[in-house]
Structure 1
């Protein structure tokens, strides 16, 4: 029996995965949780063969969870099962030790194919993820031109917003006033035609700005 831990903050998704594994046979769901903070302890106790992990857990980053799990039990295969895909999230997940990446809205057969692949020692990226990466590459190419209209400081602001930085946190990290930080944010939205921090964060992921190194920021 393949021992499985599921870390997913939506109960219906956890239930669906449980039903799929039960109907397939050969799997034992030894634990499930909605909290990333509980995953390390559950994995340490059960020593599962497989961790099905959402990236958007309510209390922590799935990428950080994957990194901790791989450090604790390298033999546990980590399959990311998440709702959205960005080039940065895929790259960072694999850098953290993830073995595969699929989307929640894909067919159960896709999830089973991914599970079999990672359990056999192969990395797996579903076709939907690959298609999303291809289309995002086109968005990134067109976004690059817009990025060139931003000053270096504005690009820095974009990266910090993508990391969740508030105006106050950005001001503190860059040693500027909150009013200046707010002005930079407004300029970014004006230049890029965006309306809020969530749109800026999404733009940063699609354009590649979120992945660029930022030596001046403490965020």
Structure 2
């Protein structure tokens, strides 16, 4: 009998984690050795359990999945990292693979697609699902890279970009917008995911280059 494939799941929605667990259990041959909703836990869990596979969401509650993937590949280069996320945005796929990810699928795809992706990355092949590829084609549609990325942001996310460009911290943004620090951090992570950026400095540079930094913002005190 072949050895069980050890799996760690990093996903901030409990129902999604449970669904993945049920799928792997029903399929057989997999052992879910750990699961977490926090990106800050993943590096430690991978180093301890040495899993064959990490199923990783990009938008975790406390950190960027891209940064988590990069850290995991440093401590456990043999662990395959399969991104399982809710949406695909310009830059997110390229940045995920640059960070060491082995595959990319969407949460709303069929369980059979996830299993195909798992088998592919375990066999040493990169995997991008058809839905992800279609999303990338639709996002560019023959236009220059970066065209219209601001339109991928909600009005609140554009507001967050302007406030970051002014030097606002998560706490300052939360106070100005009367939201929690956790919500402000989540908005920042969503912006980085959608734009394919990695930190506040890159967000600020993007805001200047795109003109968002100079757009009026009547709701902000920053």
Do Structure 1 and Structure 2 share a fold, with TM-score over 0.5? yes
Q: Count matched residues.
A: 175
Matches for 1:107-122 after TM superposition, within 5 Å:
107-122=110-125
Q: Per chain length, whose mean CA-contact separation is higher, i.e. which structure has more relative contact order (CA < 8 Å, sep 6+)?
A: 2
Matches for 1:1-219 after TM superposition, within 5 Å:
1-138=4-141, 140-141=143-144, 144=147, 165-167=161-163, 169-172=164-167, 201=191, 205=195, 217=205
Q: CA deviation at 1:128?
A: 0.4
How does the TM-score come out when normalised to structure 2? 0.69
Cα distance in structure 1, aligned partners of 2:70 and 2:123:
20
Cα distance in structure 1, aligned partners of 2:146 and 2:42:
37
Cα distance in structure 2, aligned partners of 1:141 and 1:62:
26
TM-superposition CA deviations, 1:29-62 (whole Å, max 9, x none): 0000000000000000000000000000000000
The structure with the largest alpha-carbon Rg is 1
Q: CA deviation at 1:20?
A: 0.3
Change (3 A) 1:170 1:35: same
Match of 1:178 in 2: none
Q: Which has the higher helix share?
A: 1
Q: CA deviation at 1:24?
A: 0.3
How does the TM-score come out when normalised to structure 1? 0.70
Q: CA deviation at 1:166?
A: 5.0
The runs of 5 or more residues in structure 1 that have no matched partner are 148-153, 155-160, 174-196
Look up the SS of the partner of 1:87 in the other structure.
coil
Change (3 A) 1:142 1:63: closer
Q: CA deviation at 1:217?
A: 4.4
Q: CA deviation at 1:87?
A: 2.4
Look up the SS of the partner of 2:91 in the other structure.
helix
Cα distance in structure 1, aligned partners of 2:73 and 2:146:
34
The runs of 5 or more residues in structure 2 that have no matched partner are 151-156, 169-186, 208-222
Cα distance in structure 2, aligned partners of 1:95 and 1:120:
19
Q: CA deviation at 1:138?
A: 1.5
